[in-house]
Amino acid sequence: MHGGAGAIARSQTSPETDTALRAALNRALEAGSGILSRSGSSLDAVESAVRVLEDDPHFNAGRGSAFTFEGKTELDAAIMDGSDLRAGSVAGVTATRNPVTLARAVMEKSAHVLLGREGADAFSREHGIEQADPDWFAVPERRRQLDELLANGGKFDVDMKYGTVGAVALDQAGHIAAATSTGGVTGKRWGRIGDSPLIGAGTYADDRGAAVSCTGAGEFFIRESVAFQINARVRFLGESLQQAADTVMAEVKALGGTGGVIVTDAQGHAAWSFNTASLYRGRAGSDGDRIVALYDDED
């Protein structure tokens, strides 16, 4: 799982924030791995893990999402089942407390894959998914970031200092799944949508290849179709997860993009790859192995 990639070095993070981030990542790992240990599905696991991070104000998803140029929050999310390639996603939603749950409802309760803005909000209300007021999503630190950006000329946060959240999982039945959720980038305008809700760009899962969740400069991830490319390299070329992830992330970097990916497959392998100072990340396995890390100098 991941809590975003960006230009946040260890020296820029207070000890209190460092502790809070690691605690949240551990809670999300517990939520997801607990489901898997009880023979639950990978789909349930990734949704549960992402919901934990959506509810934590330290991450740019759900509560704590970045503000648009106009000072609002517009949330995106996606989920995909690797067993049958079902997928659901939403973009620009404004009142759903856990967008990943709404994305799953789109997958399971509609004939569509991607719903946007007013339509996605209406679908959420019609299906009784928990709503939240604007104050729930807004946190002072995100407001400060927007104010700073506007004071410096108003260009959106191209450095991607605060990223997306996501999870990938393998269950005991041998199926993989992926989920991603984000508030986008600070200062985004005109209904901008990044890679997170786009199946094949920021989110993808296929039992024959890999489950992938991405975080970073979304415009570059869209152009490279990062999640699908990693899956395709694993499935069709037989590359290892690490090789496929590193190769595609090198392509992103060559275009000028920054960010990271987490990847798993139906054989129990896992990898991550990033080209930023930090990738908030964690991994838990059935063998009891557990890793939580934040910066590029730890693993």
**Active site residue ranges:** 164
Tally of CB atoms within 10 A around 131: 13
DSSP conformation letters of the chain: -EEEEES--GGGS-HHHHHHHHHHHHHHHHHHHHHHHTT--HHHHHHHHHHHHHTSTTSSSSTTPPP-TTS---EEEEEEETTTTEEEEEEEESSBS-HHHHHHHHHHHSS-SEEEHHHHHHHHHHTTPPB--HHHH--HHHHHHHHHHHHTT----TT--S--EEEEEE-TTS-EEEEEEE---TT--TT---STTSBTTTEEE-TTS-EEEEEE-HHHHHHHTHHHHHHHHHHHH---HHHHHHHHHHHHHHHT--EEEEEE-TTS-EEEEE-SSEEEEEEE-TTS-EEEEEETT--
Residues β-bridged to residue 213 = 203, 262
Beta carbons within 8 Å of 141's beta carbon, 6+ residues apart = 57, 64
Which one, of 132, 122, 124, lies nearest residue 104 by Cα? Answer: 124
Instruction: Judge whether 53 and 171 are in contact, CB under 8 Å.
Output: no
Query: Is 25 within 8 Å of 295 (Cβ atoms)?
Result: no
